[in-house]
């Protein structure tokens, strides 16, 4: 058993608490990782808020991390101690019907236990002050050591800077993949990206790499426009600057609508705007943002009857074990940006400050 520091969420709506936790050794087909760097994501904040129906407490959150394998359980063959890895919240077992189907990346092998905050055998590897602590998204990267299933791990180039590539565990991969895998953005096309946070910037990067000629960024926070343009946005607009709905503004700006739109916020009203901003006959709108539990999307069926397509994406459609090492390689060879997404680097004890910076849009 390893004793180390972790940020524990004891209950919903309260700040994280840095505690000494015990991390049990990995069982069969499990891997224990020394986490070197982790990022914070709105999904962590969503669960912490208490709005997540799958949220269990007390829990160690975090799902964008990178580290070094410390030890492996029985039967683990793909990684060994000392390997550099990124934990994966969507695993890839290679055996289930989802993994065998090229149309999806949603491996279901450990979905049920993962959703309950437990390892595949139905137990936890974390304890603190004599209490069992739940896992989160199969990763729990807000701990100096964590245990994950061996199918929830991507072995990557050991030369990669872990404080950067940890972002490929969720946000950057999700946004970039939404553009290149889910939407399949074509050269010369016009795109609209709603929400210019980390995921939105990654969508813009993907649209640019795919050859889009016009990329319109939409956000209420104008402080985000300069960064969006650095990533490839050709122009940025705020819905607050117009009297009419933003979809009508976009339809007028683009001679009938955009070819591709992306919702990167998790707001069902914005999802409707994104769909209705698409061009009749061929427009495709991709939902990337995660809406709160119980919410529903709405539009007039005529929007779809007249040739628009509404799609969704999880982790950008990447088959995780296969794709994450390639994304790291693409970053190392400067094909995709990663460093530019990092705004602040804080010590682990300041993790609550990181959440405040995220909520303030900084």
The angle at the Cα of 66, spanning 63 to 72, to the nearest 5 degrees, equals: 95
State whether 32 and 56 are in the same domain. Answer: yes
Do residues 267 and 291 make contact, with C-beta atoms less than 8 angstroms apart? yes
By residue count, the chain amounts to 362
The structural domain count of the chain equals: 2
Rounded mean pLDDT for each run of 10 residues along the chain, 362 residues in total = 98 97 98 98 93 92 98 98 98 98 98 97 98 98 98 98 97 98 98 97 98 98 97 98 98 98 97 98 97 93 98 98 98 97 96 94 86
Contacts of 145 (CB under 8 A, 6+ apart): 2, 4, 23, 32, 33, 34, 35, 70
Where in the sequence is the domain holding 117, given as residue range(s)?
2-169+319-360
Average pLDDT, the chain: 97
pTM, to two decimals? 0.96
Do residues 32 and 145 make contact, with C-beta atoms less than 8 angstroms apart? yes
State whether 139 and 206 are in the same domain. Answer: no
CATH code of the domain covering residue 340? 3.90.180.10
State whether 35 and 116 are in the same domain. Answer: yes
State whether 296 and 258 are in the same domain. Answer: yes
Alpha-carbon distance 101 to 352, whole Å? 40
State whether 158 and 13 are in the same domain. Answer: yes
Q: Quote the pLDDT of residue 54.
A: 84
Alpha-carbon distance 270 to 289, whole Å? 10
Query: Residue 338: how many CA atoms within 13 Å on its side-chain side?
Result: 24
State whether 127 and 8 are in the same domain. Answer: yes
Q: What is the pLDDT of residues 148-189, one digit of tens each?
A: 999 999 999 999 999 999 999 999 999 999 999 999 999 999
| Cα 94 → chain centroid | 21
The angle at the Cα of 102, spanning 99 to 108, to the nearest 5 degrees, equals: 25
State whether 70 and 121 are in the same domain. Answer: yes
CATH code of the domain covering residue 237? 3.40.50.720
State whether 120 and 226 are in the same domain. Answer: no
Beta pairing partners, 178: none
Alpha-carbon distance 86 to 159, whole Å? 13
Decide: helix, strand or coil at residue 118.
coil
Q: Quote the pLDDT of residue 100.
A: 98
Q: Quote the pLDDT of residue 293.
A: 86
Q: What is the pLDDT of residues 74-114, one digit of tens each?
A: 999 999 999 999 999 999 999 999 999 999 999 999 999 99
State whether 80 and 122 are in the same domain. Answer: yes
Alpha-carbon distance 345 to 347, whole Å? 7
Q: Quote the pLDDT of residue 102.
A: 97
State whether 216 and 265 are in the same domain. Answer: yes
Residue whose tokens read 């959703």 = 115
Beta pairing partners, 214: 190
State whether 27 and 160 are in the same domain. Answer: yes
Phi-psi region of 120 (alpha: psi -120 to 50; beta: other; left: phi over 0): alpha
State whether 340 and 296 are in the same domain. Answer: no
Alpha-carbon distance 259 to 214, whole Å? 10
């Amino acid at each position: 058993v390893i004793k180390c520091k972790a940020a524990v969420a004891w209950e919903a709506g309260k700040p994280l608490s840095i505690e000494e936790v015990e991390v049990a050794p990995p069982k069969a087909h499990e891997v224990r990782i020394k986490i070197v760097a982790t990022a914070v994501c709105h999904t962590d904040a969503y669960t912490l808020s208490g709005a997540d129906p799958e949220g269990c407490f007390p829990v160690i959150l975090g799902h964008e991390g990178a580290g070094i394998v410390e030890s492996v359980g029985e039967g683990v063959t793909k990684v060994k101690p000392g390997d550099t890895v990124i934990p994966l919240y969507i695993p890839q077992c290679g055996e289930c019907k989802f993994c065998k189907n090229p149309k999806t990346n949603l491996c279901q092998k450990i979905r049920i236990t993962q959703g309950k905050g437990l390892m595949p055998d139905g137990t936890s590897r974390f304890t603190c002050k004599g209490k069992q602590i739940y896992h989160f998204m199969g990763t729990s990267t807000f701990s100096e050591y964590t245990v994950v299933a061996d199918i929830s791990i991507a072995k990557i180039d050991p030369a990669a800077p872990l404080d950067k590539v940890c972002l490929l565990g969720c946000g950057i991969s999700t946004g970039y993949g939404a553009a290149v895998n889910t939407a399949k953005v074509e050269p010369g096309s016009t795109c609209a990206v709603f929400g210019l946070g980390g995921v939105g910037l990654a969508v813009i990067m993907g649209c640019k790499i795919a050859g889009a000629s016009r990329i319109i960024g939409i956000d209420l926070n104008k402080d985000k426009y300069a960064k969006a343009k650095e990533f490839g946005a050709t122009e940025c607009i705020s819905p607050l600057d117009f009297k009419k709905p933003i979809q009508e503004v976009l339809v007028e700006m683009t001679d009938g609508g955009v070819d591709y739109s992306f919702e990167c916020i998790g707001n069902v009203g914005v999802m409707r705007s994104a769909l209705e901003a698409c061009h009749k006959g061929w427009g495709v709108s991709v939902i990337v943002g995660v809406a709160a539990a119980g919410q529903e999307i709405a539009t007039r069926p005529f929007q779809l009857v007249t040739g628009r397509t509404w799609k969704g994406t999880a982790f950008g459609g990447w088959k995780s074990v296969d794709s994450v090492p390639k994304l790291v390689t693409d970053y190392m060879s400067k094909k995709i940006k990663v460093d530019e997404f990092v705004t602040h680097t804080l010590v682990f004890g300041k993790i609550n400050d990181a959440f405040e910076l995220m909520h303030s849009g900084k």
